[in-house]
Every structure is written in structure tokens, then in C-alpha cells.
Chain A
């Protein structure tokens, strides 16, 4: 059963989703426009912002990634709910 999360959870998650969407879109664009200096700069700046937001999110809620890309608390919480389809 899905956990009930505070309103802040959804807000913080949406901010991450918005930034990561910019990264997906720029990444595909740069795959076919690899000399666009401004787009590369925007990509790198957005990557930094996204990483910062994820550090904040993981402190407040739960780890986002498995296999060592996020830190675990005690007890183990890499497998914490809610899963994306439960949000």
C-alpha cells in the first residue's frame, strides 16, 4: 500500500522532474547538435542544479537511486516506498 506523503514531497519531486526534463531535452538536442556551446553550457548548469535538488530531496524523503548512486540510512531504505506508480 502506498505511503501518504506530505505536500512538500510532491512539490519537491515536481521541481526535480522539471529540471530533469530540461536535461533530457537538451541531451537529445545535443546528440544531433554537438557544437552548440550555449546549449552545452545550459546542460551543465542544469545538471548541477538537478544534483543539488536531489541531495535536498534525499535528505528529506528517501534515496532516489539504487546500486550506490544514493546513500542509505539505517535501516536500509534504498527500497522505501512510495514507488513512482504509487505516487
Chain B
């Protein structure tokens, strides 16, 4: 079962109200390579992955939910004091008329999240290679976000998240090696 802990994994601070930055950040909330996709992908793949790497998938899935909460906090804080006029000027008038200030699982272009962003192949190597690719794509997205953001507080949080993608990718690569080693140890008669 799951327990909630009333704290973020890493502090999220925002310098100024900036709905345009929120528009871009939502890519990592409901986008193809975002945190929701990551969390749900690993959470679902864990049932059929070999025992040796279930723990890793389970733990990274948990961390991804913590990152989803951090991204949501950034978006919430960047928009909570914005006027409807500022939302329109920032290019999220279309979001505003449908959701007011509520968050929604869509990408920066407004396309709603879909399960077709993720896969569970039941083949451990196929699944882990997808996971490595997902981490690298998320890392790249964080880099592009840092490149266009001029909010030093947000950038601090984004840099933390970018580094976590690097670590997850590394752990998944090690998981592949663990499975390969195990396969090579199998005895044939």
C-alpha cells in the first residue's frame, strides 16, 4: 500500500508569477517524456520484470511520483497569482477557459496525456531499454527547459530533476547488465 508524506523531495521555490514558464513546464507534467508517463510506466512494468530488478523499478516509480509533485508545485506556484489577462498574454488562454488555474495532464501544446506514450512489452531487455531512453529524453527536456527559463529559483529545481534523470538512466543500465550476467550464468545440459 501507499503512504503519503507531507513534504516535497526537494524544495520548490518560484521567483515571480510567470504563466508562460508554466506553459512550458507542463510538458514534464503531462507530456510523452514527462513524470506522469515515467511513474506509470515503471509502476506497470514492475509486475513482469525479473525479481532481480523489481526493487529498482518500484523505487524509481516512487521517486517519479515525487517529481510529478515537484513539477505540479512549480506550475501551481507560477500561475496562482496570474490574472486571466496574464494567462491569455502567456499563451494559455485556451487552458484557462477549460481549467481555470487547475492543472491538467497535457503537454506544452495542450495535447492530453495518453497511455500510448508508454509500453510494457513483457520482455525485460525491451522494457529496460525503453526506460533508459525515457530517462534520456526527460533529461534532454529538462535541459531545454533550463535553457529557456530565466527564473533562478525554478532553474535550481529543474537542475535537481535533470540530475535525477541521469542517475535513473545509470541504474537502469546497471539493471540490464545484472540481467545479462544472470542469463549467462544459466546452466545448459
Contact = CB atoms under 8 A, between A and B. Distances in A.
Interface of A: 13-14, 16-17, 20-21, 24-25, 27-29, 31-33, 62-67, 69, 83-85, 87
A28 B4 contact: no
Given A32-B56, A32-B175, A32-B178, A65 B6 contact: yes
Nearest to A66: B4
B72 A69 contact: no
A33 B72 CA distance: 32
Contacts of B5: 64-65
Contacts of A31: 53, 55-56, 59, 171
Contacts of A24: 9, 59, 63
B5 to A, nearest CB: 5
Contact of B73 (A16, A17, A66, A84): A84
Contacts of A62: 6
B17 to A, nearest CB: 15
Nearest to B57: A31
Contacts of B60: 28
Given A14-B11, A32-B171, A32-B175, A84 B63 contact: no
A32 B60 CA distance: 12
B117 interface: no
B77 interface: yes
Interface of B: 1, 3-12, 53, 55-56, 59-60, 63, 69, 72-73, 76-77, 167-168, 171, 174-175, 178
B8 A17 contact: yes
Closest 8 CB pairs of A and B: A32-B174, A31-B56, A85-B73, A84-B8, A31-B55, A66-B4, A64-B6, A85-B76
Given A65-B4, A66-B4, A85 B9 contact: no
Contacts of A21: 9-10
Nearest to A24: B63
B22 to A, nearest CB: 13
A70 to B, nearest CB: 9
A31 B72 CA distance: 28
16 contacts: A14-B11, A17-B9, A17-B10, A24-B63, A28-B60, A28-B168, A28-B171, A63-B6, A64-B6, A64-B7, A65-B3, A67-B3, A84-B8, A85-B8, A85-B72, A85-B76
A49 B115 CA distance: 40
Contacts of B53: 31
